[in-house]
Amino acid sequence: MRNLFAISIVKKQKPRMKDSKLFKLEPMRYALIGAALATCLMVTACGKKNDDIVGKWEGTLKLSAKDQENKSLADAAKKMGKSVIEFKPDHTFNLTQIEGSWTLAAGVVSLTATKVKGQNVAELKAQMAKMPGGDKIVAEMEKPMKMKLDSEGKTLTMESQSKASTSSMIFVRQPNP
């Protein structure tokens, strides 16, 4: 009888797993680990990283129906052919005869020209401002060019900034060599 009593005392003194502090912390640990993993996934999944557009993109002019009716504009588009824009890791770009810097935020690429046909944009603006109606041209030059990156990161679309045209330039990512 003595042994039976001793066994029952030992069993009562031994803490049960669900009553221990370790077990009480387990749900909290799992919650914290889950929250940390969810945060990591959201940070990596949301938006495009700036490096996602680095490389060469080939663009073609897509004329609107209205612009196709304008023969001189349609001919110019045919002669223009394809354009290539290169986004570099240092946040600079080259587009045909335009050089400058770029940023990417919320799926929109903003291009700010620093040189056009090898000439500094500040100098070009000063020359344009002296011309009749040049102030309007300078005001347009002040605005960055905007391109929308599609959700898959495969195409960039630059809509015409002119009120007279609804054409756009569509750029497609080129494979890295």
pTM of the model: 0.64
pLDDT reported for residue 49: 52
pLDDT reported for residue 26: 47
Q: Is 40 found in the same domain as 54?
A: no
Q: Is 106 found in the same domain as 153?
A: yes
Q: Is 57 found in the same domain as 41?
A: no
pLDDT reported for residue 23: 44
Q: Is 66 found in the same domain as 31?
A: no
Q: Which residues, at least 6 apart from 102, have a Cβ–Cβ distance to it below 8 Å?
A: 53, 87, 91, 92, 93, 109, 110, 111, 112
Assess contact for 72 and 44: CB atoms under 8 A. Answer: no
Q: Is 145 found in the same domain as 59?
A: yes
What is the C-alpha to C-alpha distance for residues 162 and 76, in angstroms, rounded to an integer?
Answer: 16
Q: Is 14 found in the same domain as 64?
A: no
Per-residue pLDDT, averaged over 101-120, amounts to 93
Q: Is 74 found in the same domain as 28?
A: no
pLDDT reported for residue 12: 52
Closest CA to 137 of 152, 127, 147, 149: 127
- Number of domains within the chain: 2
Mean pLDDT, rounded, of the chain: 74
Q: Is 153 found in the same domain as 88?
A: yes
Query: Among positive and negative, which fits the CA dihedral 151, 109, 42, 174?
Result: positive
Q: Is 127 found in the same domain as 107?
A: yes
Q: Is 62 found in the same domain as 26?
A: no
Helices (H), the chain: 2-13, 21-45, 65-68, 71-80, 121-130, 134-142
Q: Look up the domain containing 132 and give its range.
A: 50-173
Residue 136 belongs to a domain with what CATH number? 2.40.128
